[in-house]
Amino acid sequence: MPTMTLTQTLVMGLIQIVAVLVLIFVMVPLLTFAERKVIGYVQVRLGATRTAGGHRGLTGALNRGMWAMGKVPVLSILRGLPVFIADILKLILKEDIIPEKADRAVFTLAPILSVMAAFGVFSAIAFYPGVLFTFPAGFPVVGGLPFMGFISDVNVSLLYIIGLASVGVYGIVLGAWASNSKYPLLGGLRSAAQIVSYEVPLTLSLLVPVVLSGSLNFREMSLRLATGEGMSWLATFPLMAGFLIYTTCGFAETNRTPFDLPEAENELVAGFHTEYSGMKFGFFYLAEYTNMIVVSTFASGFFLGGYHFLPFGLQRFIPATVPFFGQPSLIFFFGKVFFILFTYLWVRATLPRYRYDQLMDVGWKYLIPLTLVNLFVAALIRFAY
């Protein structure tokens, strides 16, 4: 790689940051739209094209247009898009209301804190282990330089990511407390207890790939775990168990069904963000879906083979000389990310919410002992082989 000047380093870093932000701001709206479509299909819900078909004016025209699109095989996927766009505009244009007795400074800071913690994590995630492309020689400032598949290649990136991601709970708790309202406070307390409870098994489940790979670097861990470099084939079993535990904890960490106790509409109205409106509410929404993407990238990178085709270290059985399937690819990484995100939507449409005592029982009585046993097995395999 050619040596870069300070200016080139700063410009390249800025380009990479903008690229990641664009990726997030594209994936989050698509994910929310996909959630409506998936839940609609799974639960056989009637959309606006049927329930509002008799409307006149712009609404009626849009509904009739969506109904016509439904008769075209490919375009039928986009039915309901105007409703989704209207919801985004509503978040942007809706009046920003702050309760009279709320702590205005903390009330405003809380959603910003949640979003910053969610976005900051991406600075240490490797979407691809090498060079994605090279800028043309005539490109200003960074011409001829490679564009890497990651912003920073930190040796202890896993520690950085876990530490920064855990800051997000402060946004939820502070927002709930600053609202000076009972339902948000109850939701905030639930969220604090839930995230503290499930942080332990989640971190322990991530220690399994750390022990097996012998690294804390996201890129190195993903490559070693996928190809089985320096590992016994027996490592597949603790990786599979770790994936199931990690995915369960990931649902709880992102406050998603069946662990959505902090929001619980039929119990707490909307939980910790009841008093929020406009883009402050939108920031909480954005942080939640961004964290879902973060959890999915971890599952893809550490358990499902990351940039390689096969999961759980099984890529060792495909020689590197095999075209496409034997080489790392961005398609494999994001394909697995999208699969985990689809699982989020699938579970929401299928499973009911836990009771609060059941939520705590699952975390402390079952997941933590299981992760400790799984970690012991992984360490035994690492030591023996």
pLDDT tens across 327-373, in order? 999 999 999 999 999 999 999 888 888 888 888 899 899 999 999 99
Residue 13, in any domain of the structure:
no
In a domain? residue 141 = no
What range does the domain containing 380 cover?
A: 100-136+151-384
Residues 319-323, mean pLDDT to the nearest whole number: 88
The span from the CA of 344 to the CA of 350, in Å, is: 10
Q: What is the mean pLDDT of residues 262-275?
A: 75
In a domain, 199, yes or no: yes
Window from 45-59, 88-102, 137-151, 160-174 with minimum mean pLDDT: 45-59
Assess whether pLDDT exceeds 60 at residue 53. no
Q: Which amino acid is at 218?
A: F
Structure tokens of 256? Answer: 């998603």
Decide if 261 is inside a domain.
Answer: yes
55 has pLDDT over 70: no
- In this structure, what token pair is assigned to residue 343? 């699982």
Q: Which are the contacts of 320, defined by CB distance < 8 A and separation ≥ 6?
A: 326, 327
How long a stretch of residues is the chain?
Answer: 385
Within-domain flag for 239: yes
Q: Provide the number of structural domains found in the chain.
A: 1
| Rounded distance between C-alpha atoms, residue 111 and residue 116, angstroms | 9
pLDDT at 6 over 70: yes
- Tokens 């989704």 belong to 84
Structural domain contains residue 337: yes
- Summarised one tens digit per residue, pLDDT across range 139-190 is 888 888 999 999 988 899 999 998 888 888 888 888 888 888 888 888 888 8
Please count the CA atoms within 13 angstroms of the CA of 347 that sit on its side-chain side: 19
